[in-house]
A and B are shown apart, each in its own frame.
Chain A
Amino acid sequence: MSLQHVTTTVNGDRAEFLCDTMETLLDALRDRLGLTGSKEGCASGDCGACSVMFDGRLVCACLVLAAEADGRKVETIEGMAGTGELHPLQTKFLELGALQCGVCTPGFLVAAKALLEENPDPDETEVRYWLAGNLCRCTGYDKIIRAVLETAADLRGQ
């Protein structure tokens, strides 16, 4: 079985790997590049734990073939914090206790960041529907939704 050579950009840096054509982007990120912040919760696009940005669009990395990443731009949770500084969403999640076990948290953060970039002033319903593809089994979502709404307000300077 010959492997596919893929050259891509991950969190702003050029990345290269060899992969089987059956491998998903999630497999490649985790197993080829050692970026294990994106989690596999279902491998069917139903839980959102592997949410990443793919050429500027929010996607589940488990539903993208690794080979598709050639020449594309991938952004993962590992690239969310600046140098020595957390993203405001990350800070707010910590401040409000918006995580328990934490395994869904990277996916929520990537998805929430995408939301605020597109809609800086979402209401509660918009946040809930935008994040409906991210399953959390611990928190009942309450503190997560609050954290996103409060971060949005902070970023708007309110």
Chain B
Amino acid sequence: MRYEAPRTLGDATGMLASCQGVARVLAGGTDLLVALRSGFVEPELVVDIKRIPGMAEIVAEDGGWRVGAAVPGAALGRHDGVCRAWPGVVEAVELIGSTQIQGRATMVGNLCNASPAADSVPAMMAAGALARIAGPDGKERDVPVGDVATGPGVTSLAPGELVASIFLPEAPARSGDAYLRLIPRTEMDIAVVGAAVSLTLDDGGCCAAAKVVLGAVGPRALVVEDGAAAIIGTTLDDDSLAALEAAASAAARPIDDKRGTVPYRRKVAGVLARRAARIAGTRAGENR
């Protein structure tokens, strides 16, 4: 295995593109090193992007925030601006592993690992985040975060491409987001179900816009349009939240595995979507 730590994005994409065998990007490494150790992947090349200037930075852009691919969770959680704008995204990222994992794991790594249970992905999708993809030709393109993972362990990235940053847009006034997941313990587990809700209230306290996204109940994060529709135009009263719960449970397409059963995941998807919506609503109400 060859280890490279290039100093420019162009070098990084160039190395990835010219590698004949399996190549992997190393950011936080919390998934990659486990895969290496278990022999699950045997790459010919590992490209460490942490020495590329700017990769570990969070910068303000168009009222929102651009988060570099090598920003660890611990840094994101200490960034006042992002915490204020997108508390749900931050709490989702902070749920990834322990304090030690937070010292390394990145939002982009969580996205590109393409696990159906990735915690940060539903929250980023609910926030309308964009992934900036750098290619070997020096070109960059922005795609919705939801378009990066296409199935378990599979992404839409072409050979030589990598995700260089995530753009979190400006959070509208009177908006709030939240992410909840169910794990059997309090920490250190993979989500059995995850639910992210982002919503905006109008001046009358009615829900004007909403996004509901579920994790771990399908091959990739699931947008629940019916769930959003159930709360848009309401004051997030019990009946509308019950309708959201029903819509989320109905939309879930889980599997039976060692972490949970189909009926369990289906039911809990609804419960968490409802609870997340309530938290997001409260946050939106406080956010003037």
Contacts and interface: CB of A to CB of B under 8 A. Distances in A.
Interface of A: 4, 21-22, 24, 43-46, 48, 51, 54, 57-60, 62-65, 67-68, 70, 111, 114-115, 129-134
Interface residues of B, number: 27
Interface stretch (B100-108, B233-241, B268-276): B100-108
A105 B72 CA distance: 26
A65 B46 contact: yes
B22 interface: no
Contacts, number: 88
A147 to B, nearest CB: 17
A116 to B, nearest CB: 13
A63 B34 contact: yes
Contact of B100 (A24, A43, A58): A58
Nearest to B75: A57
B261 interface: no
Contacts of B97: 45, 133
Contacts of B29: 63-65, 68
Given A21-B1, A44-B37, A129-B186, 5 more contacts: A45-B34, A45-B97, A59-B103, A63-B29, A111-B100
Contacts of A51: 100
* Top 8 A-B residue pairs of the complex, sorted by shortest distance between their CB atoms: A133-B98, A132-B187, A57-B103, A21-B3, A59-B103, A60-B100, A67-B3, A63-B33
A58 B33 contact: no
B154 interface: no
